[in-house]
Structures are given as structure tokens and as C-alpha cells.
Amino acid sequence: MELALKVNGVKYIRSVDSGITLLDFLREEIDLTGTKKGCDLGECGCCTVHLDGKPVLSCLMLAVEAEGHEITTIEGIATGNQYHPVQTSLVEEGAIQCGFCTPAMVMNGVYLLSHNKKPSKADIKECISGTICRCTGYTKIEKAIEKAAQQMVSKA
Ligand code: FES
Ligand code: FES
């Protein structure tokens, strides 16, 4: 079937198998490999992207279900050369080791701060609770999102 998806503001048209997942469409059809394929079963959270601004697990969604929606991946989070504060803070706080979970952590954090300017520690824990990090533990990631929130409030 022919499928047209809008990803990071760009429309992509591809001929695909009707059963292709959104994750495989992103990685295999349009070469956006920032979104990671971990379990492919809806358990690790590493495949998180935004659908109309909200996080979804792209391995659990058929690409065809995303037609007509705005999809944002990690490649669409920075503005030109300007990283999002969540991205910068993750680097500054040493919250990245292998980096496999990092795109999903960014997608989670960006979503949280898009609708909650002053998240509590519990809010932050909750927002990343669906994504597994095998390296850092979660303390540094939580601290990075907290720092990004403070920076965004002070610049507003
Ligand atoms: S790859 Fe989608 S949840 Fe693990
Ligand atoms: S930094 Fe390696 S899985 Fe999170």
C-alpha cells in the first residue's frame, strides 16, 4: 500500500506492507534511526515518539494508524542548531552512558515540560517510568529534566 506520513514537518510517501509498524517505517523506510528498537514488544519504552505532541510507543503502532497525524521524533526536537533544554541538561548532568534510552527520555521530558512547567519529582519519575535505562539509573536523568524545567521557567 502507499502510505503518506508527516514526520518532523516533512511529508514522506512510501510503498509499504500494510503491517509495518510506525517504528519500522521511521527506521527502515525514512532512515530516522534516532528512535531506538529495543524489545519491539511495548516493554522498554525506547521507541517513544510523539503523535500529535503526546508520547506513543512506535513499536506498538501500525504506521497506517499514524496517517493524518503529526509525528515527531528525536530528530525533530532541536530547533536548527539549538538543542532543547532537556537535551542540553541530559548532557550536562552526565545522564547519558550508552545513549540507547536517551531519545525516548528526551521525548518523555519534552512532553512533560510542554504541559507542566513546574513538575514535581514525582511527576518527573512518572514521566520516565515507562522507559528502561540499563546504564545510569534514573537519578541523573530525573535531575536533568528538573534542571531543564528550571531553565525554561527562568527564560520565560
Ligand atoms: S521497542 Fe517499543 S517498547 Fe521496546
Ligand atoms: S544510557 Fe544506556 S540505556 Fe540509558
Ligand 2 centroid vs 96 CA: distance in angstroms? 6
Specify the domain boundaries for CATH 1.10.150.120 within the chain.
85-155
- Domain at 85-155, CATH class: mainly alpha
Q: Which tens digits make up the pLDDT trace of 11-54?
A: 999 999 999 999 999 999 999 999 999 999 999 999 999 999 99
pLDDT score, position 137: 83
Considering only CA atoms, which residue is closest to atom 3 of ligand 2? 133
This model's pTM is above 0.95: yes
Q: What are phi and psi of 14, to 5 degrees?
A: -140, 150
SS (H, E, C) 30-51: CCCCCCCCCCCCCCCCCCEEEE
Mutate which of 131, 135, 142 to test ligand 2's pocket (most atoms within 8 Å of Cβ)?
Answer: 135
Specify the domain boundaries for CATH 3.10.20.30 within the chain.
2-76
Quick check: CB of 22 below 6 Å from ligand 1?
no
Quick check: CB of 10 below 6 Å from ligand 1?
no
Q: For the residues of 79-108, what is the DSSP string, one character each?
A: BTTB--HHHHHHHHTT--SS-SSHHHHHHH
Q: Which tens digits make up the pLDDT trace of 115-152?
A: 999 999 999 999 999 999 999 889 999 999 999 999 99
Q: What CATH code is assigned to 2-76?
A: 3.10.20.30
Ligand 1 centroid vs 150 CA: distance in angstroms? 30
Give the residue among 49, 37, 21 at the shortest CA–CA distance from 108.
49
